[in-house]
Every structure is written in structure tokens, then in C-alpha cells.
Copies of this chain bind each other. A is one copy, B any other.
Amino acid sequence: MPTSRLETFSDGVFAIAATLLILDVQATGSPLAHELLRIWPSYLAYAISFLTIGIIWVNHHTVMGQVGRVDRTYLFLTVGFLMAVAFLPFPTRLVAEHLRGTGAKAAALAYGITMTTTAVFFQGVWFYAAIGRRLLREDADRRVVAGISRSYIPGPFLYLGATLIALASPTVSVILFGAIALFYVLESSLFARGQG
């Protein structure tokens, strides 16, 4: 079973989930100029979420580059993973709308739980393929595989930590979600350098 259709479907979900985020940016108040300044948390939530989905996509790209074939269990793990990714526009809207109100804690928790779930599923997708090199390509590079494994292990813990902090301070929590995204962009670059 080739990997190409899995990639088309996944890329479709990534692209749509990322693009739907813009529907969560709404300016309904008046006058418009003030309203556009007032809704800055919307822009922040859009940017962090889009970047986060972008990072997940780039990493999924890297994973699929090492995967040579798929089986039905792997397909269903991917469906679960994409279900978590496609859920992201909902907590993103919550954060954008409630970050400065009484619902800030609930919104940040919803966002964090979604991201933690996504990270757990991504681990599942990767380790199902990688353990015993079950689905890896014949010529998958041992160092790249080890690098991916190493960089994916902290993911759920980082997100779980940032999520729990929302109980004390939703704002710090959201800043940490941004920081984790940034960390993964930079980490990816370091990681890529290691590949060269």
C-alpha cells in the first residue's frame, strides 16, 4: 500500500485546519479602527495556531520521509492524529475570545488538552512505525530515526506542563504555548543541521 494517498489526505486536513483558523478572527465592534486593535489576542492565537499546525506538518513531512509503507492500523492512528489536529480551530477561537475575560482559564485548558492529545497521537504514529522499524523504508537513516524519536519524546510533557500552568495563570500558559512552537521551529533547524 503506497504512502501517497495518506499524504494527500493528511496535507488536505493540515491545509484546511490551518486555513479555517482565519474564521476565528472576527471584528464586530465599532469603531472599526479601535476594534481592530482591541482584538489583538485573535491575531496572536491565529499566528501561534497556524505556526503550530505548520510545524506539525513539517514534522509529519519528516516522518513520512522515513516511512516506506503503511498498514491499516497506521492509517487509523493517523486518522486519530488528524482528528486532534482538526480540532485545534475550536480551542483557538476560545483563547482568542476569552483570553482577557473570565473564561481565560477554561480556554487555555481546552487549548492545552487539545495540543497534549495531538502530541500523544503524533508519538503513537511515529513509534508504531519506528519500533522494530515496522514500517520504515529499507534505507531509513539510523541517525535521523533516532533524532526524530528523541525530539518527539518531550512533546506531550511540554504541552502537559504548559496546560497545567493554566490553572495558575492562563496568560503564562499561552505564552508557553507560543514558546514551545518557537522552540520546535529552532529545534527543527538544529536537528536539520544534524542531518546535513
Contact = CB atoms under 8 A, between A and B. Distances in A.
Given A32-B98, A58-B76, A13 B13 contact: no
Interface residues of A, number: 63
Best-surrounded residue of A11, A46, A64, A73 (most CB of chain B within 10 A):
A11
Interface of A: 1, 5-9, 11-23, 25, 27, 30-33, 36, 46-47, 50-51, 54-55, 57-58, 61, 64-65, 71-73, 75-76, 79-80, 82-83, 86-87, 89-90, 94, 98, 102-103, 105-107, 110, 185, 188-189, 191-192
Contact of A103 (B12, B16, B32, B191): B32
Contacts of A105: 33
